[in-house]
Structure 1
Amino acid sequence: MTERYRPQQEHNDTWTVIDAQTERAAEMGSRTIVGMNQQDAEELAELLNKLEAQKQGMDTEADR
């Protein structure tokens, strides 16, 4: 399974979490996930991917 979210280094040495479905900065609520340090971006992308996997698992169970 391809992960939906990935960290990406920007030209100004900050990090953004990218949403692979839109190829834009991911959003949480009304905020875009930009201007982070590398560790935080990697951890947040991992967390968002885990949540997405859980969501997909719940959707699959509901289809049964």
Structure 2
Amino acid sequence: MTSQRYDLRKEPDETWTVFDVFTGQPADAWGAPAEYLDEEYSRDLVSVLNLVDLKRRAAPGNL
């Protein structure tokens, strides 16, 4: 099973951050850090980023 690259973190100010589990840093969401998000948007974003990453890793030549 492939591990997911991105996960969610609830911040002390009640906002959410999508972060890279390998670096611990906020994910790069198309040029902007994925932080200070509401819960619904962050859940959608983490799903999209994990899908994009999975497709990238499954592409020919990346296995």
**If the length of structure 2 is used for normalisation, what is the TM-score?**
0.87
Please tell me whether the aligned partners of residues 56 and 62 of structure 2 are also in contact (alpha carbons under 8 angstroms).
no
Whichever residue aligns with residue 19 of structure 2, its letter is: I
> In proportion to residue count, which structure has more helix?
1
Aligned residues: 62
- Residues 7-57 of structure 1: per-residue CA shift (max 9 Å, x gap): 110000000001012111111343111111111101100100000000001
CA RMSD of aligned residues (A): 1.6
Unaligned runs of 5+ in 2: none
Look at both structures and tell me which one has the larger radius of gyration over its CA atoms.
1
Whichever residue aligns with residue 10 of structure 1, its letter is: E
Q: Where has structure 1 moved over 3 Å in runs of 4 or more?
A: none
**If the length of structure 1 is used for normalisation, what is the TM-score?**
0.86
Unaligned runs of 5+ in 1: none
Between the two proteins, what is the percent identity of the paired residues?
21
